[in-house]
Structure 1
Amino acid sequence: MKKALLTYLFLFSTIIFAQEKTFKTEEISIDPMLNGTLYKPNKSSKKTNLVILIPGSGIPDRNGNQPGASNNSLKFLSEGLASKDIAVFAYDKRAIAQLKAGNISEKDVTFDDVIADVKQVIQYFKTKKEFNKIIISGHSEGSLVGMIASKDNADGYVSIAGAGRPIDEILEEQVVKQAPFLKTELRKNLDILKSGQTFKLENKMLSSLFRESVQPYLISWFKYDPRVEIKKLQIPVLIINGTKDLQVPESDAELLHEAYPKSELVIIENMNHVFKEIKEDSENMKSYNDLTLPVVPELIEKIATFAKKL
């Protein structure tokens, strides 16, 4: 009986030890409207490199979740990297704090404001001098944001599911695929915005895309071409995409790689837009609202390897 008890206690302590986290978390406030979580390896030192994760379009939080799409994509990625001795800072978009404070004004936000936030985050950690190298990793829309913010500010850059074309081309492709009858009107509206002008929206079917309050943001976004911006970088670059991405095809990653041939291109089999492994197409959209499904391990491994090489 005594021997059995000792065996049980040994096994129990072994399980607890195995489950012990190899990292800790700390809440960081860059400013009252820009807040996030720092994932710090237990063995962190001055030689530890830091990855700053930039969320995608909409108002996703530091975990990668937003209304209609809660999947913990950025949370699981952050935890995975931290367990491989890479520090990670994942933050909420400024709009989240503004919504909570009740002072958000969509018409006053521009794409350049989002870029400025990333630069502010970078400067915060540079001033702290706690980490060795700073790597910027942007997801989806965050890919272009991070690409621009990285110039002269970061030691490395990672694009995850980032567009390789101007966003107006991608919006046209996505909308026309679903509603081809809108093509002419859609292109007309896109061209007006590309010229730097706003317009009065007549077709309510396009209100979610072209509502008047979001038009200034689109104008500021449309002026950037990822293939032009990536050429301005003089740092190591990793470009990642998945074969099951419904929003950004792997061909966009290839366009970025062609524009910056020194980059490393990684196409992950069966990974979708929120980093989940998809074996059946019917699972793809369901995974956008699965808070338990882990991210593809290869994604963590590729970014960790890239970060450690710098």
Structure 2
Amino acid sequence: MILKNQILTRNKQKPIVFDLFFNKSSKSKPLVIFCHGYKGFKDWGAWDLVANTFKDHDLFFVKFNFSHNGGTVDQPIDFPDLDAFAENNYSKELKDVNDMLSFLCSKKNSYLNQIDTTNIILIGHSRGGGIATIKASEDNRVTKLITWASVSAFGQRTTTTGDLEQWKKDGVKYVLNGRTKQQMPHNYQFYLDFKANEDRLNIKKACKNIQIPHLIIHAKDDLTVTFKEAKALHNWSPNSQLIAITNSNHVFNTKHPWVKDTLPKSINSVIESSIAFILD
């Protein structure tokens, strides 16, 4: 069963658009929640094929758009709402994960009987890996954590792009999206929110607090988030294992759009290792 573009409405907050992939049966299944990365979205590239593979292994797989990722309910792909993108921050993304998790484990979810709420796995890619790590460290509902090509620190990514004083003066700075050619705005509130929550947003500290099993998967040749960040996560996280993927890149040799009906070897390795870790 595949349910696309479901909507989680929230009081005085932007809605969250999400997809469900599962085989409907009398058996409850481990819940897997996937968090996309920076300038990402739930329908990017091969994520549907990835989700379908988890479904085929009888897992309840959920992927969603962060509420301020720049997508909308009517257009969840790409970035029609740059005003929302400008107001995104790490705290909002953590709140989104929490609200998705709470909804999926509540009676408001029509498919609650399909989910084993004692077996919940967070997967995060790139920046989403950092968000998933922090959430896993502070929420005892999460029983396993998987990070794909995850960042190891938010601070350096928050303050090093552009001049901080100029950012404060202008109130906004822009990052080019190489694929869409959009100038993606970041309002200065992003920095203020990070500084106000800097202790909570410390991925190193979060890793050291994680008591659940943690699988770290990273491409050795990742040029976007280097492999040394994976090694750092592994050193900090006491119950972690690290798997290196060779001959691969930051998105494990996928791209957007993905028009093939098969997946490349590298991301298949990521999926196989992740599913084995979940079912172990």
| 1:178-189 correspondence runs (5 A) | 186=162, 189=163
For residues 106 and 297 of structure 1, do their structure 2 counterparts lie closer, same or farther at Cα, with a shift above 3 Å needed?
closer
| TM-score using structure 1 length | 0.69
- Cα deviation, residue 92, structure 1: 2.0
Q: CA–CA distance in 2 between the matches of 1:98 and 1:167?
A: 31
| 1:49-128 correspondence runs (5 A) | 49-58=30-39, 60-63=40-43, 65=44, 71-72=45-46, 74-95=47-68, 96-97=71-72, 104-128=83-107
26-35 vs 96-105, which deviates more? Answer: 96-105
Q: Tell whether the 8 Å contact from 2:208 to 2:237 is kept in structure 1 after alignment.
A: yes
1:21 is aligned to none
For residues 234 and 199 of structure 1, do their structure 2 counterparts lie closer, same or farther at Cα, with a shift above 3 Å needed?
same
Amino acid at match of 1:245: D
Amino acid at match of 1:250: F
2:207 is aligned to 230
Report which of the two structures shows the higher radius of gyration computed on alpha carbons.
Answer: 1
* Paired residue secondary structure (1:208): strand
Segments of 5+ residues of structure 2 without an aligned counterpart are 177-182
Q: Tell whether the 8 Å contact from 1:142 to 1:162 is kept in structure 2 after alignment.
A: yes
| TM-score using structure 2 length | 0.76
For residues 226 and 291 of structure 1, do their structure 2 counterparts lie closer, same or farther at Cα, with a shift above 3 Å needed?
farther
Q: CA–CA distance in 1 between the matches of 2:73 and 2:132?
A: 22
Q: CA–CA distance in 2 between the matches of 1:30 and 1:98?
A: 10
- Which structure 1 residue ranges, 4+ long, deviate > 6 Å from structure 2? 209-212
Q: Does 1:256 align with 2:236?
A: no
For residues 170 and 269 of structure 1, do their structure 2 counterparts lie closer, same or farther at Cα, with a shift above 3 Å needed?
farther
Greater helix proportion: 1
For residues 156 and 241 of structure 1, do their structure 2 counterparts lie closer, same or farther at Cα, with a shift above 3 Å needed?
same
1:299 is aligned to 270
Q: How many residues are paired up?
A: 247
Segments of 5+ residues of structure 1 without an aligned counterpart are 1-23, 66-70, 176-185, 278-286
Q: CA–CA distance in 2 between the matches of 1:91 and 1:135?
A: 14
Q: CA–CA distance in 2 between the matches of 1:111 and 1:99?
A: 24
| 1:1-310 correspondence runs (5 A) | 24-27=1-4, 28-31=6-9, 33-43=15-25, 45-46=27-28, 48-58=29-39, 60-63=40-43, 65=44, 71-72=45-46, 74-95=47-68, 96-97=71-72, 104-128=83-107, 129-130=112-113, 131-132=115-116, 133-150=119-136, 151-152=138-139, 153-168=141-156, 172=160, 186=162, 189-190=163-164, 199-201=168-170, 207-208=174-175, 213-221=186-194, 223=198, 224-276=201-253, 287-292=255-260, 294-295=263-264, 296-309=267-280
For residues 163 and 102 of structure 1, do their structure 2 counterparts lie closer, same or farther at Cα, with a shift above 3 Å needed?
closer
